[in-house]
Amino acid sequence: MSGKFNIDNIAQLARLKLTDAEKERLGGHLEQIIEYIDQLNRLDTEDVEPTSHVLPIHNVFREDEVSQSGATPDYLTGSPSHQKGHYEVPKII
Amino acid sequence: MRYEVVIGLEVHAQLKTQSKIFCSCPTEFGRPANENTCPICLGMPGVLPVLNKKALHLAMRACLATHCRIAPRNRFARKNYFYPDLPKGYQISQYELPLGLEGHINILINGTKKRIRLTRIHMEEDAGKLIHGENLGSPGHSYVDFNRTGVPLIEIVSEPDLRSAEEAREYLTQLKAILDYSEVSDCNMEEGSLRCDANISLRPVGQKALGTRTELKNLNSFRFVQRAIEYEVERQTQILEQGDQVIQETRLYDSTKGITFSMRSKEEAHDYRYFPEPDLVPVVVDNEWIEKIRKTLPELPEQKRERFVGEYDIPEYDAGVLTTSRAMANYYEECVSLHNEPKIISNWIMGELLRELKNNQHSIETCPVKPEGLISLLKLIDEGTINAKMGKTVFEDMYRTGKPAKAIVKEEGLTQIIDSSVIESLVDQVLESNPEQVEQYKGGKEKVFGFLVGQIMKESKGQANPSLVNKLLKERIS
């Protein structure tokens, strides 16, 4: 178990049920990722401009115009369960 | 021990656009469930959200109208959590680089101006609507309507500068007026286009550090905001006075019981794992753009309020009430332009008109008595055809039937009695039937005079000219 993260907590946030073997294996992967980030953090980036997006573009917009896909029923019928136009899910409250 | 109440509000306002924030689905309210959805807002794999330019413009207007600084560079982030109203498993919001920062709104509390600072204003998409059981199928299930999913919102976060439920209500009233004037949002609480969460804590008077806070959700009217806060302050006071600790938690307001209760959801310490949204490129705003938008802003409530006080010489309180919505302010100004009696008009609007609107659940836009109608009534009073008291009855009839004032006065035979001989005989009649009171008055009990005037007015069915009654009674009795 890494001192930097709690694999059970991360699995819970992602709603994943992991076996002990998977925890062992994925925990190792995560540890390597964090190790790599730490390595990046050690670099001197004093004079490097921060990257806010991998693409060198900004301000891509669409106009406020309506168009309807009209494909709703397909999504609804493709869902595991639905009722009177609504998606049915396990009781929340 | 005495405690100070500390409140911060988070307000979500729906931006007035035709289409959603990242796709072309309509934002129209009241459509059949899941009809306003598409692969983008349903979070299907491989789709690409693109920012609605109008939504950005409206959000910028909100920032400028609340004195926020607009960040030259802002971007979206993913807020990750699982809940059935969130089809993607994350909400696209803004996190470390929001659009607007460090604004403020001025509120009036007992005639004193108080500045409430804003921490930030950011853009985000709304989630879907969950329906629990209710006539849809089994009570053991919940049902999801994604029509709201992806509707553009701004979240306006205040600093913890509010000190009472009343201040919170006043802040909301002002904020709503600003969003209404600047045409950013419809602010319709019933349709959910304005929603409010409140963070509340107490601390001993004089202490700097903030106490433990609770977050109140589900406050869907200004009245509920005020009541829920009042309840919560009382609840926390009792806890602290018993020497116990307030638990940091989210609580819901139950408006029928008038109480707040813990959501008790398994909130394993919120961990939203925000990260920059890779599907959307950053938004860069330069000064030229900001100034262009600033120029399109209309006169805002605070400016209008100050102008009303100066131009019409009415009290600040009146000006505040009359400027709570653009439509109300327009109504008032139209009246004044027809009849230059600013204070009398203000009294009628704040008294009779607002009362009728409230009783009939109308807004000023749907008010059956238009400015011309109200003014023709006020002119009848001015000319002495009817007195003010009769005017109020006529106004109620106008409101109910939509008939003009003159027609009602004629139909009901409601002209004011200004014939001295008629009033004199009424005076005599009343003096005769109340000898005891007359004696009291003559013995120095001046209050009885008012009673006698009342009796005479009653005899005349409210139609006597009151100042003439006063004059003639005084002549006769002294």
Residue range B279-300, pLDDT digits in tens: 999 999 999 999 999 999 999 9
Q: Which two tokens mark A16?
A: 């994943």
State whether B282 and B311 are in the same domain.
no
For A53, nearest residue in chain B (alpha carbons): B281
pLDDT in tens, B367-410: 888 898 888 888 888 877 788 888 888 888 788 888 887 778 77
Last residue of a domain, one of B412, B432, B448: B412
**CATH ID of A3-41, from 1.10.3470, 1.10.150, 1.20.272, 1.10.20:** 1.10.20
Q: Where are the alpha helices (DSSP H) in B285-338?
A: 287-295, 301-312, 316-322, 326-338
> How many CB pairs below 8 Å do chains A and B form together?
135
* pLDDT given at position B394: 81
State whether B387 and B246 are in the same domain.
no
User: B118 lies in which domain range?
Assistant: 3-292
Distance, CA of B142 to CA of B138 (rounded, Å): 8
Q: Hey, are the CB atoms on A12 and B132 less than 8 Å from each other?
A: no
Distance, CA of B380 to CA of B261 (rounded, Å): 55
Q: What angle, 0 to 180 degrees and rounded to 10, lies between the N-to-C axes of helices B301-312 and B165-181?
A: 90
Contact of B17 with chain A, judged by CB distance below 8 Å, is answered with yes
**Closest by CA position to B44, among listed B81, B88, B85:** B88
Token pair 């989630």 in the structure block, residue: B127
Residues of B in contact with A53 (CB under 8 A): 75, 276, 278, 281-282
Q: Residue B367 burial by CB count (10 A; 0-12/13-18/19+): exposed, middle or buried?
A: buried
State whether B324 and B392 are in the same domain.
yes
pLDDT in tens, B205-249: 888 888 889 999 878 888 889 999 999 999 999 999 888 888 888
State whether B234 and B327 are in the same domain.
no
State whether B241 and B94 are in the same domain.
yes
pLDDT over 60 at B267, yes or no: no
Q: Which CA distances in Å does B408 have to B137, B397, B412?
A: 54, 7, 6
pLDDT over 90 at B106, yes or no: yes
State whether B197 and B146 are in the same domain.
yes
State whether B182 and B317 are in the same domain.
no
Query: Under a CB-based contact definition with an 8 Å cutoff, are residues B142 and B132 in contact?
Result: yes
pLDDT over 90 at B359, yes or no: no
Model pTM?
A: 0.79
Question: Residues B361-372: what's their mean pLDDT?
Answer: 87
Mean pLDDT lowest among A21-35, B115-129, B425-439: B425-439
* pLDDT given at position A66: 93
Q: Which of B53, B54, B143 sits opposite A83 (nearest CB)?
A: B143
State whether B149 and B44 are in the same domain.
yes
State whether B257 and B120 are in the same domain.
yes
Q: In which band, very low, low, confident or very high, does the pLDDT at A1 lie, cut at 50, 70 and 90?
A: very low
**Closest by CA position to B453, among listed B465, B440, B439:** B465
Q: Hey, are the CB atoms on A64 and B18 less than 8 Å from each other?
A: yes
pLDDT over 80 at A92, yes or no: no
Nearest chain B CA: its distance from A51 CA (Å): 11
* pLDDT given at position B230: 92
For A92, nearest residue in chain B (alpha carbons): B142
State whether B361 and B431 are in the same domain.
no
The total number of structural domains in chain B stands at 3
Domain regions of chain A by residue span:
3-41
Last residue of a domain, one of B257, B292, B327: B292
Q: Which of B34, B140, B282 sits opposite A86 (nearest CB)?
A: B34
State whether B394 and B432 are in the same domain.
no
Q: What percent of chain B has pLDDT over 70?
A: 97
